[in-house]
Amino acid sequence: MLEFGDVMKVTAGTRVNLPPSAWSQIITWLPHSSNNEVSLFSLLQAWHACVYEIWCERNRRYHLGVTLPPRRISQKICLILKNKAVALSQTGASCGPPLLLCWS
């Protein structure tokens, strides 16, 4: 089974401590996880990408009867994060280049 800790390993470049494992603790921890604006933004993006891919995996299993290995799901999460950073950089968003460095 895919664990949140497995997919959150993609946040290694954000320089934040590992998150707690309980859902309610994570929700409380997220807004205060980093004093650095870029690190916080990257962590929130990673959280969103993880939740999204876990939801996609649930739908794949339920509707298609297909299961992806956790490593492939982690790769899909990393791809989402890189693509978002590229898009933000290309649109001229100030957070784009630091996020691109973080996720590349």
Q: What SS3 class is residue 71?
A: helix
* CA 42 – CA 47 distance, rounded (Å): 9
Q: What beta strand segments (E) does 41-87 contain?
A: none
- pTM (2 decimals)? 0.76
pLDDT of residue 66: 96
pLDDT at 5: 53
If phi over 0 gives left and psi between -120 and 50 gives alpha, with beta otherwise, what is residue 5?
alpha
Q: What does the pLDDT read at residue 86?
A: 95
Cβ atoms < 10 Å from Cβ of 60: 14
Averaged in consecutive runs of 10 residues, what is the pLDDT profile of the chain (104 residues)?
A: 49 60 82 83 90 95 95 94 94 92 86
Q: Quote the pLDDT of residue 17.
A: 63
How confident is the model over 72-85, as pLDDT tens digits? 999 999 999 999 99
